[in-house]
């Protein structure tokens, strides 16, 4: 369980990581897209829907106005972090597929059952994943599949998640796919498998300018 928890932290923390090197800037070749990963588009609408899911879950978990405002403040870069996670998910899937890694629904359920037992029940696990990792309840199984893919890929490579060999495999997958971000959301550093902010620091986060928050 401790290794699984560390893996979840590594993969989810990576969503918010900032890397110093910049590569492949986004452009206007894909109107309406927040990012293009290989032949898959992540539309702005899809991104906004994901952000709204998190905000709605936070709102339901924290009905008090002051506490909800604090939750919003703690996740002020939610839009960019969410896009990072959506891109990283596709890159990891590609790397796992190339390595012959598969994850079954049974494995996801087994992992979830173990984590629920550790957390003290299904609701406690959902609350913990939302608070610590920004994963809403309806995306929990999807996130656990991500963790299992990462673990299995690392095992196939003879290493552990978070080690240089693991990230090198993701970097190669990113190069193979090609990742093109809308410049509104930054750029993608393929060597670090990380989204990077672009533009002057005074530009507003799109979280506060383009996404409608639940009332």
| CATH of residue 85 | 1.10.4030
| Predicted confidence pLDDT, tens digits, the chain (215 residues) | 555 554 454 555 443 333 322 233 334 556 789 999 999 999 999 999 999 999 999 999 888 888 888 878 777 789 999 999 999 999 999 999 999 999 999 999 999 999 999 999 999 999 999 988 889 999 999 999 999 999 999 999 999 998 999 999 999 999 999 999 999 999 999 998 998 987 554 344 443 333 333 33
Between CA 177 and CA 180 the distance in angstroms is 10
With vertex at residue 207, the alpha carbon angle to CA 11 and CA 136, rounded to the nearest 5 degrees, is 45
Domain assignment of residue 151, yes or no: yes
Domain assignment of residue 18, yes or no: yes
Token couple for 72: 């919003």
H or E element that contains 60:
helix 44-61
Residue 40 forms beta bridges with which residues? 37
Q: Look at the chain and report how many structural domains it folds into.
A: 1
Domain assignment of residue 47, yes or no: yes
Query: C-alpha distances in angstroms, 24 versus 13, 90, 146?
Result: 23, 17, 25
Domain assignment of residue 215, yes or no: no
Domain containing 45: what range?
2-208
Domain assignment of residue 17, yes or no: yes
Domain assignment of residue 214, yes or no: no
Domain assignment of residue 65, yes or no: yes
Q: What pLDDT sits at residue 197?
A: 85
Q: Is the pTM of this model over 0.95?
A: no
Domain assignment of residue 140, yes or no: yes
Q: Outline where 62-197 has alpha helix (H).
A: 65-74, 78-98, 105-119, 122-133, 140-157, 164-177
């Amino acid at each position: 369980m401790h290794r699984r928890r560390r893996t979840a932290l590594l993969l989810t923390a990576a969503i918010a990581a900032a890397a110093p090197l910049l590569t492949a800037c986004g452009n206007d070749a894909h109107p309406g897209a927040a990012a293009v990963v290989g032949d898959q588009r992540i539309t702005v609408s899809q991104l906004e829907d994901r952000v709204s899911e998190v905000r709605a879950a936070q709102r339901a978990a924290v009905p008090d106005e002051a506490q909800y405002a604090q939750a919003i403040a703690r996740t002020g870069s939610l839009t960019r972090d969410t896009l990072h996670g959506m891109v990283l998910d596709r890159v990891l899937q590609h790397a796992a597929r190339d390595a012959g890694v598969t994850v079954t629904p049974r494995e996801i359920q087994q992992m979830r059952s173990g984590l629920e037992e550790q957390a003290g029940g299904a609701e406690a696990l959902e609350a913990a994943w939302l608070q610590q990792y920004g994963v809403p309840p309806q995306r929990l199984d999807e996130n656990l599949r991500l963790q299992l893919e990462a673990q299995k890929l690392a095992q196939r490579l003879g290493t552990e998640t978070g080690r240089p060999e693991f990230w090198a495999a993701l970097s190669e997958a990113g190069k193979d796919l090609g990742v093109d971000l809308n410049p509104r959301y930054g750029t993608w550093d393929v060597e670090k498998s990380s989204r990077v902010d672009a533009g002057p620091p005074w530009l507003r986060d799109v979280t506060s300018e383009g996404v409608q928050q639940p009332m």
